Amino acid sequence: HLIPLLFAKHKALKQAMKRREENYNRALDFIENPPKGVRVIEICPNTLYSGRTTKDISLLNDDYKEGLRAGRRAIDRWKETR
């Protein structure tokens, strides 16, 4: 693994990188199985135009705008259920 070499001087970051998969899966589990009395509204864009390493600012801006639209739709749905 490269993580120990890349983050040797940054112990907290190294630990976070080592646990990222576990933390991600725990978050997914929480979303799919929230505690009793808790309602989770997952907000995610329908389409993403960028990839994990995209540097194209126009694609990143498109994704940002899509995220805003998804957030606004979620807020509207939430207001309807109140």
What pLDDT does 3 receive?
66
Average pLDDT rounded to a whole number, residues 29-46: 92
- pLDDT at position 22: 94
Is the model's pLDDT at 82 over the cut of 90?
A: no
**How much is the average pLDDT of 52-70?**
95
Question: 43 near 72, Cβ under 8 Å?
Answer: no
Predicted pLDDT of residue 55: 95
Q: Model pTM?
A: 0.62
Q: What is the DSSP letter of 58?
A: H
Q: How far apart are CA 69 and CA 43, in angstroms?
A: 10
Instruction: Answer whether residue 1 shows pLDDT above 70.
Output: no
